[in-house]
Structure 1
Amino acid sequence: MEKGEPDPSKQLRLLPGFRFHPTDEELLVHYLSRKAASRPFPIPIIAEVDIYKFDPWDLPDKALFGEREWYFFSPRDRKYPNGARPNRAALSGYWKATGADKLIHSTAGQLQNVGVKKVLVFYKGKAPPGFKTNWIMHEYRLTDSYGNPSHTRKNGSMRIARLVILRD
């Protein structure tokens, strides 16, 4: 097997024509909330990867599924031990948040916030200038029952149940 080729034993065996194109609500309600509750998935379609240990162009090989979009469950560490700011530094650059967070609402039953979607762009080099690339990431976080972003603290880091979608 050549370097960079996906491991055939890890490839999913899905029926021809299968498409994985969930909505924002489906990603939060059916995937991220299940992951946060440590419930198993019938089909392992989303890989668990600490995305900040890699550059974005190395991540497609780590995904279990996808051609132009790749889905990952990833932990989120804090920039400072006692702070709430996330550390988004990667190997050769950093992920910069752009635009306002988008609230994701449930369409089932009464309208309620189920999560937040944040768009991040990858910059090569050190902040603040860096060089903007075409790599975009969509970060999803669950909200608690009051509509606030939720997280748990474990071993001094924010271990947020979080789903990210990477696009080139």
Structure 2
Amino acid sequence: MRTENLYGSKELWQIWRQFGRLDLEYGEDLYFFTRLKKKSVNGSRIDHRVGTGTWQGEDVGKVVVSRNSRKKIGFKKRFRYEKDKSPYNGCWIMHEYSLNPSLLPKNLRSSDLVLCRIKKNGEPRQPGRKIQGKRESRA
């Protein structure tokens, strides 16, 4: 388990190369603890930019419940990496997990720390490659 700023200025492919093995297969995951980055100091909205791209939410989030007690233990959200006109657009999926604040000690309840699981969703597109009868634009 690593700590990395997944909502910072480093490009996602740089993070992938830094922490992933060269032979990391599709379906294999990288896990990171990261801090959420708010859009404004007093706001509640999260800034999902990573490098020059964005983590685009694919769902509103799902409640995670304990199998034994059926108590709400946290939340799971799914994101897709997006950067228009980039060969890396759509190449990664991220699941962001957060704990139910009521389960945390009082000193950590306002914590913005989340666990993120990243996996490759495909290879970067090659400029000029045909997609459904159309030529792909250059990045």
TM-score (norm 1): 0.57
What is the CA–CA distance in structure 1 between the aligned matches of 2:95 and 2:64, rounded to whole Å?
13
- Contact 1:78–1:87 (8 Å) recurs in 2: yes
Residues 64 and 106 of structure 1: CA distance in aligned 2, closer, same or farther (over 3 Å) = farther
Percent identity over the alignment is 24
2:14 alignment partner, one of 47, 55, 58: 58
Match of 1:72 in 2: 32
Q: Deviations over 1:62-85 (max 9, x none)?
A: 438893310000011101121100
- Contact 1:137–1:165 (8 Å) recurs in 2: yes
- Contact 1:63–1:72 (8 Å) recurs in 2: no
What is the CA–CA distance in structure 2 between the aligned matches of 1:138 and 1:64, rounded to whole Å?
17
- Contact 1:118–1:140 (8 Å) recurs in 2: yes
Structure whose residues are more often helix by fraction: 1
1:135 alignment partner, one of 81, 92, 99: 92
* Moved beyond 3 Å, runs of 4+: 61-66
- Contact 2:12–2:51 (8 Å) recurs in 1: no
By how many angstroms is 1:165 displaced? 0.6
By how many angstroms is 1:60 displaced? 2.4
- Contact 2:7–2:37 (8 Å) recurs in 1: no
Aligned residues: 109
Task: Please tell me whether residue 118 in structure 1 is matched to residue 73 in structure 2.
Answer: no
Match of 2:116 in 1: 164
By how many angstroms is 1:113 displaced? 0.8
What is the CA–CA distance in structure 1 between the aligned matches of 2:116 and 2:48, rounded to whole Å?
13
By how many angstroms is 1:132 displaced? 4.1
Task: Please tell me whether residue 103 in structure 1 is matched to residue 63 in structure 2.
Answer: yes
The one-letter amino acid of 2:119's match is R
- Contact 2:102–2:109 (8 Å) recurs in 1: no
TM-score (norm 2): 0.67
Q: CA RMSD in A?
A: 2.7
Task: Please tell me whether residue 85 in structure 1 is matched to residue 45 in structure 2.
Answer: yes
By how many angstroms is 1:134 displaced? 2.4
